[in-house]
Amino acid sequence: MSERLHGVIAEFDRAESLEAAVRDARDAGYTRMDAFSPFPLRETAALLGARPGVVFRIAVIAGLIGAILQYGSQYWMNAVDYPINVGGRPLHSWPAFLPSTVIVAILWAGAAALLSMLFILHLPRLHHPVFAVKDFERASEDRFFLLIQSDDPRFDLPGVHAFLQARRPTAVREVPA
Amino acid sequence: MRSRARSITTPVAEIPLAPHFGPLWWGGLLVALSLVGLLGLTLVSSLIFGVGLWGVNIPNVWGFDLINYAWWIGIANGASLFAATLVLRRHDLRTAVNRFAESVALFGVICAGMFPIVHLGRPWLFYWVFPYPATYQVWPQFRSTLTWDFWAISTHAIVTTLLWYVGLIPDLATLRDRARRPLAKRVYGVLALGWRGSVRHWSYHQAAYRVVAILVLPLILVMQSTVAFEFATTLVPGWHETRLPLHFVATGLVQGLSMVLVIAMLLRRFLRLERYIDDYDVELLGKLTLASALVCGYLYFDEFMAILLSGPRQQIAGLNRMTGEYAGLYWAAVVYTVLIPQILWIKAARRSVVATVFVGLGISAGLWFDRFSLIVGGFQRDYLPSTWRSYAPTITETGLLVGTVGLFAALLLLFVRFIPVVSMFETRHDEHEEAS
């Protein structure tokens, strides 16, 4: 039981050390790893395979769906299902349908961007093995962490320890599963 | 580096985590909550006895309800527009002011959203504007600006809330990690949704945040125009103008800016955040407020010219606003929103708490006078001279206005107490970029 590990985590006190360590780990062939930082690190995220552009695409698609639904429902309700003739004005009065079409498209796009972001990141997830690591609470303040997970195909405990120690971290700790 | 990052986070995080808060905060909250009580009382009596308690009647069908709505939504939209612009430009000022600019927007839209609902007369049926399959088999009339407004307010409320909360998640995680008391740890822990600062998470988080900031810009322009369309699509003289959306958008911006300026100065002073909201930030806010006050002045001039160039009915209604019964409010609007802000040309005034708070609150009051003058003035000289009546608010309507001011203040005080007022992770990020 106690031998099951989530991985091994190294603590750094500089963002630059973390980025270098991630680069080395990738070059050494590790694939199942994660890095933790108190603020966004764009290059490090790209090294770890983050593709945040997908959020933008989701927002565009959701916005289009919202716009089509809103415009379509206005057209169908006011011109087809329940047409009201007001002084002979056209039933399909498209300029009057535009403001809420734009607004609802923004509603869909905005909600989709933020909610899909949480969904992609598997949040909310209140518990995670890394929270059990000593001093990990400083990942939200001033420390940087590199985690190599035990499900990595190249994971062998002494080897990972040696690899992380060679990156000159302030500490290396094992993360219980 | 280590001690530095820690010393950035500590002062801001200490505020929400402090076990006790000064008597000033409690006093302020008590006053604000008693006004919220007044709001509850006037809301409930408006619900039970109906809008007959208000001073509105034919032809003055819109009174304080729409004045207050247009005013609050102006504050909300101005603050949102400002915050989104800063995010998109990656401007340094965003680190200092974005969190509370977004909060001002959120609390403003809460106060604003109340008025269109109570003003319906039968507010419990407000969902009739939503297209649901009703038993009468009648759909809402989508050509009406009132349905546009339904979508605009609800979208603004949802998107602002989401943006505010998502931007807050990493800072809630910092509070969770720093909290000592078990209850605070648990509450902040649940609210942080298990944020663990993964670098991958950060990149998606930032991408989503920027996408929504981009979306907020058109939303605010469309929303504020929709408010203006509600007036412009009627035939009331002075309202039926194509310039009205521009008037509402631009004067809304000065309103939002002035509110952000006031809160920046007060936070700096009372929470001792001079390091986060520094002299440069305050100077820039003052200059922006001054510039938008000049735009406001241009719009009043434009309004005057539009009145001169329009038909005789519109001229009578327009001149009535400047010389009639409520002329004092029209001129007060000009003085408070254009003339008094001119003292911000002086550097010492831009840095003085008293001067900026006076100017900022003055602009907000001035814009309220402007909305009053526009809404009441249009009805006072409508097309039929036999319907020329005036409007005066009743005590219930005044209670609603004062009550929403109390609600806004109470929400702000609670925000200051429990949530980091300056984005801690943005500050850490900025200092890191400067260091490297």
Shortest CA gap B186–chain A (Å): 10
Task: Please name the residues in contact with A19: beta carbons below 8 A apart, sequence gap of 6 or more.
Answer: A41, A43, A44, A47
Judging contacts by C-beta atoms under 8 Å, the chain B residues touching residue A56 are 207, 211
pLDDT tens for residues B88-105?
A: 887 777 777 888 889 999
In a domain, A125, yes or no: no
pLDDT mean over A99-103: 93
In a domain, A132, yes or no: no
> Would you say residue A2 has pLDDT above 70?
no
Choose among A13, A107, A131: nearest Cβ to B196.
A131
Choose among B6, B202, B428: nearest Cβ to A45.
B202
Shortest CA gap B33–chain A (Å): 32
A30 & A62 share domain: no
A97 & A59 share domain: yes
A23 & A75 share domain: no
Whole-model pTM: value is 0.90
**Rounded (10°) angle between helices B199-232 and B145-178:** 150
pLDDT tens for residues B177-193?
A: 888 888 888 899 899 89
Are A100 and B166 inside 8 Å of each other by CB? no
How far apart CA B233 and CA B241 sit, in angstroms, is 8
pLDDT at position B5, please?
A: 60
Are B189 and A53 inside 8 Å of each other by CB? no
Judging contacts by C-beta atoms under 8 Å, the chain A residues touching residue B162 are 110-111, 114-115
pLDDT at position B342, please?
A: 95
- Output the domain CATH number for residue A160: 3.30.70.120
Label each residue of chain B as H, E or C.
CHHHHHHHHHHHHHHHHCCCCCHHHHHHHHHHHHHHHHHHHHHHHHHHHCHHHCCCECCECCCHHHHHHHHHHHHHHHHHHHHHHHHHCCCCHHHHHHHHHHHHHHHHHHHHHHHHHHCCCCHHHHHHHCCCCCCCCCCCCCCCHHHHHHHHHHHHHHHHHHHHHHHHHHHHHHHHHHCCCHHHHHHHHHHCCCCCCEHHHHHHHHHHHHHHHHHHHHHHHHHHHHHHHHHHCCCCCCCCCCCHHHHHHHHHHHHHHHHHHHHHHHHHHHCCCCCCCCHHHHHHHHHHHHHHHHHHHHHHHHHHHHHHHCCHHHHHHHHHHHHCCCHHHHHHHHHHHHHHHHHHHCHHHHHCHHHHHHHHHHHHHHHHHHHHHHHHHHHHCCCCHHHCCCCCCCHHHHHHHHHHHHHHHHHHHHHHHHCCCCCHHHHHHHHHHHHC
Judging contacts by C-beta atoms under 8 Å, the chain B residues touching residue A49 are 200
Q: In this structure, how many other beta carbons lie within 10 angstroms of the beta carbon of residue B18?
A: 10
Are A45 and B200 inside 8 Å of each other by CB? yes
Nearest to B114 by CA among B346, B386, B387, B399: B399
Shortest CA gap B409–chain A (Å): 28
Choose among A52, A77, A81: nearest Cβ to B203.
A52
- Find out whether A172 and A164 touch, Cβ atoms under 8 Å: yes
* pLDDT < 70 stretches in chain B: 1-8
- Which domains are seen in chain B, by residue range? 2-131+138-435 (1.20.1630.10)
In a domain, A129, yes or no: no
How far apart CA B141 and CA B426 sit, in angstroms, is 45
Are B148 and A103 inside 8 Å of each other by CB? yes
In chain A, count H helices and then E strands.
5, 4
- Find out whether B274 and B268 touch, Cβ atoms under 8 Å: yes
Selected for mutation to probe chain B from A17, A106, A115 (highest B CB count within 10 Å) is A106
In chain A, the number of structural domains is 2
Are A97 and B142 inside 8 Å of each other by CB? yes
In a domain, A133, yes or no: no
Choose among A48, A96, A124: nearest Cβ to B194.
A124
Residues of the domain holding A100: 54-120
A67 & A92 share domain: yes
Shortest CA gap A52–chain B (Å): 5
- Find out whether A126 and B185 touch, Cβ atoms under 8 Å: no
pLDDT tens for residues A54-90?
A: 999 999 999 999 999 999 999 999 899 888 888 888 8
Are B5 and A34 inside 8 Å of each other by CB? no
Shortest CA gap A136–chain B (Å): 9
Choose among A53, A96, A113: nearest Cβ to B143.
A96
> Would you say residue A1 has pLDDT above 50?
no
Choose among B178, B199, B225: nearest Cβ to A48.
B199
Q: Is the ipTM of this complex over 0.95?
A: no
Judging contacts by C-beta atoms under 8 Å, the chain A residues touching residue B105 are none
- Find out whether B34 and B406 touch, Cβ atoms under 8 Å: yes
How far apart CA B252 and CA B228 sit, in angstroms, is 11
pLDDT at position B2, please?
A: 45
Judging contacts by C-beta atoms under 8 Å, the chain A residues touching residue B148 are 99-100, 103
Are A103 and B223 inside 8 Å of each other by CB? yes
| CA closest to B185 among chain A residues | A137
Shortest CA gap B139–chain A (Å): 6
Q: With H, G, I as helix, E, B as strand and everything else as coil, classify residue A175.
A: strand
Choose among A103, A113, A143: nearest Cβ to B151.
A103
Shortest CA gap B328–chain A (Å): 35
Shortest CA gap B384–chain A (Å): 23
Choose among A34, A96, A102: nearest Cβ to B142.
A96
Which H or E run includes A11? strand A5-12
A71 & A106 share domain: yes
A67 & A113 share domain: yes
Selected for mutation to probe chain A from B14, B196, B434 (highest A CB count within 10 Å) is B196
A66 & A108 share domain: yes
A64 & A115 share domain: yes
Judging contacts by C-beta atoms under 8 Å, the chain A residues touching residue B432 are 15, 39
Judging contacts by C-beta atoms under 8 Å, the chain A residues touching residue B206 are 40, 52
In a domain, A153, yes or no: yes
Are B197 and A128 inside 8 Å of each other by CB? no
How far apart CA A135 and CA A143 sit, in angstroms, is 9
Judging contacts by C-beta atoms under 8 Å, the chain B residues touching residue A74 are 142
Judging contacts by C-beta atoms under 8 Å, the chain A residues touching residue B179 are none
Judging contacts by C-beta atoms under 8 Å, the chain B residues touching residue A123 are 193-195, 201
Choose among A36, A115, A143: nearest Cβ to B198.
A36
In a domain, A18, yes or no: yes
A111 & A58 share domain: yes
Q: Which amino acid belongs to residue B294?
A: L
Selected for mutation to probe chain B from A92, A103, A122 (highest B CB count within 10 Å) is A103
Shortest CA gap A73–chain B (Å): 9
In a domain, A99, yes or no: yes
In a domain, A128, yes or no: no
Nearest to B92 by CA among B345, B436, B433: B433
| CA A118 to each of CA A55, A65, B155, B206, B215: distance values in angstroms, whole numbers, following the listed order | 10, 20, 20, 12, 18
Shortest CA gap B222–chain A (Å): 7
A114 & A152 share domain: no
Query: Among residues of chain A, what percentage have pLDDT more than 90?
Result: 29
